[in-house]
Chain A
Amino acid sequence: MAERQWNCIFRKHIGDVVLHLALGASIVLYGCGAGQSGTSAVSNSTSGAGSSGSTSGVPLLTLSGTQLTFPDTSVGTTSTGQNITLSNTGTAAATVQSINVTGRFRSDTSLCLGTLAANAKCTMAVLFTPDQSGTLTGSISFATSTGSLTVGASGKGIAQTLTISTVATSLREGESTQLTAQLDGASTTQPVTWRTDSGSVTTDGVYTAGSNITASTTAHITASLAATASITATLALPIGRALPILTSSTPTQIDAGTTTTLTITGTHLSNLSQLTINGLSQTFTKVSDTQISVQAAMQAWDSGSMAIKGSMSGSDGGSTGTLQLSVKALPVSYDAAVRFLQQAAYGATPAAVQQVQQMGMSSWIDQQLKNPAYDYASAAGASYGQYYRNTQSLQYALRQRVSSALSHVYVVGGSTGCGPIDCGPFWEALLENDAFGNARTLLKDVALNPLMGAYLDNANNAAYPGIVPNQNFAREFMQLMTIGTVQLNQDGTSVLDANGQLVPTYTQSNIADMANALSGWKYALAGDLGSQAQVPMVMAEGWHNQGAKNILPGVTLPAGQKGEIDLDAVVDTLFNHPNYGPFLSRRLIQHLVTSNPSPAYVARVAAVFADDGNGVRGNLGAVVKAVLLDKEARKGDDAAQADPATGHFMEPALYLANVMNAVQGVFTDDQVRNVDVAMGQPLYSPPSVFSYYSPDHMLANGTYAPEAQLLTSANSVTKLGLIYSIFTNKQPGFQVNWKTSPFSNATSTDDFLTRVNHLLYHGQMPDSVRTTLTNYIAANAGSSINSMLPDLIFMAVSSAAYQTIQ
Chain B
Amino acid sequence: MNRREFLKYASRITMGAGAAPLIPRLISAPLLAQAGGSNSGYRAIVCVYLDGGNDGNNTVIPADSYYSQYATGRAALAIDRTSLLNLKATSGGRLFGLHPSLKNVASLYNQGHATWLCNAGPLTTPYKKGQTTVRVPLNLFSHSAQAAEWQSALTQADSSNGWAGRLADLLAKQNLSSSPIVVSTSGWQLLGSGTTTELASIGAGNNAVAVLNALQSLTPSLNQMDSASSSNSLSNTISEMQSGHLSTTKLLLDAASTGASIQTKFPNTYIGQQLQVIAQMISGRSRFDVNRQIFLSSVSGYDTHTLQLSQQASNLTDLDGAVGAFAAAMQEINMFDQVTLFTMTDFARAHQMNSGGGTDHAWGNHHLIVGGAVKGGDMYGTFPSLVIGGDDDFATSGLWIPTTSGSQYAATLAQWLGVQSKDLSNVFPELSNFSKSTLGFLG
User: Could you tell me which A residues sit within 8 Å of B by CB distance?
Assistant: 456-457, 460-464, 467-472, 475, 479, 485-486, 502, 504, 508-509, 511-512, 595, 642, 644-649, 678, 680, 687-690, 694, 696-703, 705, 708-718, 720-721, 724-725, 764, 766-769, 771-772, 775-776, 791, 794-795, 798-801, 803-804, 806
Closest partner residue, chain B, to A764 (CB atom):
B231
B208 touches A806 (CB 8 A): no
Q: Give 4 new A-B contacts, CB below 8 A, not counting A509-B395, A806-B235.
A: A687-B300, A712-B200, A714-B249, A716-B245
Inter-chain contacts of A479 with B (CB < 8 A): 142, 144
**Min CB gap B131→A, angstroms:** 15
Inter-chain contacts of A772 with B (CB < 8 A): 221, 224-225
Bound Cα distance from A349 to B394, whole angstroms: 57
**Contacts known (A469-B355, A714-B206, A718-B211); A511 close to B141, Cβ less than 8 A:** yes
Inter-chain contacts of B300 with A (CB < 8 A): 687-688
Bound Cα distance from A806 to B215, whole angstroms: 27
CB-contact partner of A644 in B211, B232, B244, B354, under 8 A: B232
CB-contact partner of B222 in A464, A697, A795, under 8 A: A795
CB-contact partner of B360 in A472, A595, A795, A803, under 8 A: A472
Inter-chain contacts of A646 with B (CB < 8 A): 232, 234
Inter-chain contacts of B161 with A (CB < 8 A): 700
**Min CB gap B221→A, angstroms:** 5
**Contacts known (A509-B395, A768-B227); A791 close to B218, Cβ less than 8 A:** yes
Residue from A645, A647, A700, A806 with most neighbouring chain B CB atoms (10 Å): A700
A715 touches B207 (CB 8 A): no
**Min CB gap A496→B, angstroms:** 12
Bound Cα distance from A472 to B53, whole angstroms: 13
Closest partner residue, chain A, to B198 (CB atom):
A700
B221 touches A775 (CB 8 A): yes
> Closest 8 A-B residue pairs measured CB to CB?
A721-B211, A800-B239, A712-B201, A766-B230, A698-B160, A768-B228, A716-B245, A800-B238
Inter-chain contacts of A701 with B (CB < 8 A): 160, 237
Bound Cα distance from A475 to B146, whole angstroms: 14
Interface residue SS majority, chain A: mixed
A508 touches B224 (CB 8 A): no
Q: Is B199 an interface residue (CB 8 A)?
A: yes
B221 touches A795 (CB 8 A): yes
Interface residue SS majority, chain B: loop
CB-contact partner of A716 in B242, B353, B399, under 8 A: B242
B397 touches A468 (CB 8 A): yes
338-381 of chain B: CB within 8 A of chain A: 352-356, 358, 360-361
Bound Cα distance from A698 to B142, whole angstroms: 19
**Contacts known (A711-B242, A769-B225, A800-B235); A680 close to B139, Cβ less than 8 A:** no
Bound Cα distance from A485 to B361, whole angstroms: 15
B142 touches A470 (CB 8 A): no
Inter-chain contacts of B226 with A (CB < 8 A): 768, 799-800
**Min CB gap B360→A, angstroms:** 4
Bound Cα distance from A775 to B142, whole angstroms: 52
A694 touches B218 (CB 8 A): no
CB-contact partner of B211 in A698, A705, A717, under 8 A: A717
B234 touches A648 (CB 8 A): yes
Closest partner residue, chain A, to B76 (CB atom):
A467
**Contacts known (A464-B355, A714-B201); A690 close to B249, Cβ less than 8 A:** no
Bound Cα distance from A467 to B51, whole angstroms: 26
**Min CB gap B182→A, angstroms:** 11
B237 touches A467 (CB 8 A): no
- Which stretch from B5-13, B189-197, B326-334 is at the chain A interface? B189-197
Closest partner residue, chain A, to B202 (CB atom):
A714
- Can you offer 20 A-B residue contacts whose CB atoms are under 8 A? A462-B356, A464-B355, A472-B303, A485-B138, A644-B232, A678-B206, A680-B187, A690-B144, A701-B237, A714-B187, A714-B208, A716-B249, A718-B203, A720-B222, A769-B225, A799-B239, A800-B226, A800-B241, A801-B230, A804-B238
Bound Cα distance from A595 to B232, whole angstroms: 13
B241 touches A708 (CB 8 A): yes
B356 touches A461 (CB 8 A): yes
**Contacts known (A461-B355, A700-B161); A768 close to B225, Cβ less than 8 A:** yes
**Contacts known (A467-B355, A717-B208, A804-B235); A798 close to B228, Cβ less than 8 A:** no
Q: Is B64 an interface residue (CB 8 A)?
A: no
Closest partner residue, chain B, to A796 (CB atom):
B225
CB-contact partner of B195 in A469, A475, A700, under 8 A: A700
Bound Cα distance from A716 to B203, whole angstroms: 11
Q: Is B15 an interface residue (CB 8 A)?
A: no
